[in-house]
Amino acid sequence: MLLIRKNSRILIASHIFTLMGTIRSSGISRYFPVFSGYVNRIAGLFREGRHPAKVGIYYPAETEWMGESMPVEKPARILTENQISFDIVSLDYLEGARIGEGCYTINGQTMEVLVVPCAERLPERLKNVIRRLQEAGARVLFADGKPEGTEGSVIPLEELGQALSEYRGIRCAQDQPDLVLGEYERDGSRYYMLFNENVGQAVHTEITIPGLDADDRRQTAEESGTDLCHFNGYVSRYDGFSDTLTRAEHHMMLHLEPYESAVFIVSQEELEYGSKQEKDSAAERIFLPVREGQDGWHFCRLPETWKVRFADSRSYPEWICEAPVDSLCCVQQIEGWDAKAGTLSFETQLENDAVEAAEAVLDLGTVYETADVFVNGISAGVRLCKPYRFDLTGLLRSGANDIAIEVTNTLGTEVRDALSHYLAIEPFGIQGPVKLHVRGGRNLR
């Protein structure tokens, strides 16, 4: 059995498979490059480096045949909910580990802690490894219990995360059990991928990302009031969809919509951002939800009447019919539209009295599922998943502006085959709420 790289690779895979549900769409040919480009860029970051986990979990293949045994998924879940990176290690790898002072090394990966899931009995081979680790000063923790005659510390399963809090990759202001962390090291830089696993609620919390020194990581976990100025390394946020870097901080506010991910890079030298003012402002507009009255932002009224047209994948971009609605909505409850698969186009005209330099963000709320926004025929970007937030800065002009929102759903709506008929059929369209935010200039009307 091989050493299992849990956090980084499985995290990337789970996030990508989430997006693949969107790509099984009737618009697959035109949106697949968006998906594949994102996958290639993210996968390119997490390669030719190392997973810096300091915690190993014994894989209980032997103990499962010797009586009652805790599944490995239980301690793995607790560590995941506490943003603690780990590897799952088998007995044969543990026996071949190079044991040093307070640590053990497997395939070049040095760990300091071994977590052993509760078991009725342990094989003698594992007991021998545990004794060697304990004699070398490495920490061995038994989750929820241990057999009689076995030396070592027992930690209640629900307290495992707190017992290993010094190994948290990041620090959150509040517990965030739905926030999954993947860590990676490459070329002197550290990479953090954060993923919101919750299907219905956003993660909104302050986080602290440590510097490149190991002491920074320990201090981040142990001291809530740490002066962060001493943390070494520059922090950047990478957007895999737009392939852009923006400046970030060691201590910042993080907002992730359901299934949204974020990648942060801590590097020894400051990375190239392009125009600082432009990039930082764009990051603020897209990465954090805009709040009414905050930092000069305010809502602008959108037209109530929209023209709604439909095209399937064979006819697009020629629209084959109009939907019997005149607003931003979902259409699956309209008679005859419950099995439609293709693209809806919501079109309207917006009068703009604001100066051309005014900042503008269009937030579509909840969309099913791929959204493509056009302003005067120019694409403002494509979103495959939440947040369906589009930066319209520089696209709105004085006078009339043609706005088009194209929404493409999946083939599962139309093709009810043996593989997909167990899946929930999602709505088709824009559920919202849809809001247009501007800052600077005068109101749009």
Residues in the chain: 445
Q: Is 182 helix (H, G, I), strand (E, B) or coil?
A: strand
pLDDT, position 3:
41
pLDDT of res. 195? 96
237 and 202 fall within a common domain: yes
Residue-wise pLDDT for 107-124, tens only, equals: 999 999 999 999 999 999
Burial tier of 412 (Cβ tally within 10 Å: 0-12, 13-18, 19+): buried
Least confident range from 3-12, 47-56, 235-244: namely: 3-12
Distance CA 170, CA 100 (A): 27
Same domain, 188 and 240: yes
Residues 183 and 158 in one domain: no
Does some domain include residue 421? Answer: yes
Q: Please tell me whether residues 303 and 429 are part of one structural domain.
A: yes
Is the model's pLDDT at 34 over the cut of 50?
yes
- CATH of residue 356's domain is 2.60.120.260
Choose between 149 and 375: higher pLDDT: 375
Number of domains in the chain: 3
Query: Does residue 149 lie within any of the structural domains?
Result: yes
218 within a domain of the structure (yes/no): yes
3-state SS class at 179: strand
Residue 6 in any domain: the answer is no
Residue 96 has which token pair? 């071949």
pLDDT, tens digit (0-9, with 9 covering 90-100), for 288-319: 666 666 677 888 889 999 999 999 988 999 99
My answer on whether 370 and 331 are in the same domain is yes
Is 199 in the same domain as 142? no
- State whether 100 and 66 are in the same domain: yes
Domain boundary, last residue among 255, 288, 321: 288
Q: Domain span at residue 62?
A: 50-163
CATH of the domain at 266: 2.60.40.1180
Distances 158 to 13, 60, 99, 148, 166 between C-alpha atoms, Å: 27, 19, 29, 22, 16
Q: Quick one: CA dihedral 429, 434, 440, 444, positive or negative? A: positive
pLDDT in the model for residue 55: 98
The highest-confidence range among 86-90, 144-148, 226-230, 268-272, by mean pLDDT, is 86-90
Phi, psi of 173 (to 5 degrees): -65, -30
Give the pLDDT score at 284.
Answer: 57
- Mean pLDDT score, 267-272: 87
Provide the pLDDT for residue 411. 82
Position 34 in a domain: no
pLDDT band with cut points at 50, 70 and 90 for residue 401: very high
- Which of residues 423 and 211 earns the better pLDDT score? 211
SS3 track for 93-149: HHHCCEEECCEEEECCEEECEEEEECECCCCHHHHHHHHHHHHCCCEEEEECCCCCC
Mean pLDDT, range 14-28, rounded to an integer: 51
What pLDDT is stored for residue 219 in this prediction? Answer: 52
The C-alpha atoms of residue 104 and residue 109 are separated, in whole angstroms, by: 8
Which of 163, 193, 220 is the endpoint of a domain? 163
Choose one of 238, 268, 288: the last residue of a domain: 288
For all residues of the chain together, what is the average pLDDT?
Answer: 85
What integer pLDDT is reported at residue 425 of this predicted model? Answer: 81
Q: Which residues on adjacent β-strands are paired with residue 224?
A: none
Residues 154 and 228 reside in one and the same domain? no
Residues 221 and 316 in one domain: no
What is the dihedral sign for C-alpha 318, 321, 326, 330?
Answer: negative
Residue 377 scores a pLDDT above 70: yes
Predicted confidence (pLDDT) at residue 25 exceeds the cutoff of 70: no
pLDDT of residue 444: 54
> Could you check whether the bond before residue 369 is cis, i.e. omega within 30 degrees of 0?
yes
Q: What is the pLDDT of residue 218?
A: 52
| In-domain check, residue 35 | no
Residues 306 and 394 in one domain: yes
Q: Is pLDDT at 221 greater than 60 in this prediction? A: no
pLDDT band of residue 232 (cuts 50, 70, 90) is: confident
Q: Per the domain annotation, does 79 fall within a domain?
A: yes
Burial category of 437 from C-beta neighbours within 10 Å (exposed 0-12, middle 13-18, buried 19 and up): buried
Provide the Cα torsion 335, 338, 340, 341; round to 10°: 160
The identity of residue 282, as a single letter, is A
Q: Give the pLDDT mean for 407-415.
A: 86
- Torsion angle in degrees (nearest 10) through CA of 47, 256, 158, 120: -40
Q: How far is CA 180 from CA 81, 194, 287, 293, 386, in A?
A: 7, 6, 18, 32, 17
Contact 249, 208 (CB under 8 A): no
Quickly state the pLDDT bin for 442 (edges 50, 70, 90): low
> Residue 127 maps to which CATH number?
3.40.50
In a shared domain, residues 349 and 280: no
Name which residue leads in pLDDT, 97 or 294. Answer: 97
Note whether residue 43 is domain-resident.
no
154 and 277, same domain (yes or no): no
| pLDDT for position 422 | 73
In the predicted model, is pLDDT for residue 275 greater than 60?
no
State how far the Cα of 86 lies from the Cα of 67, in Å rounded to an integer: 26
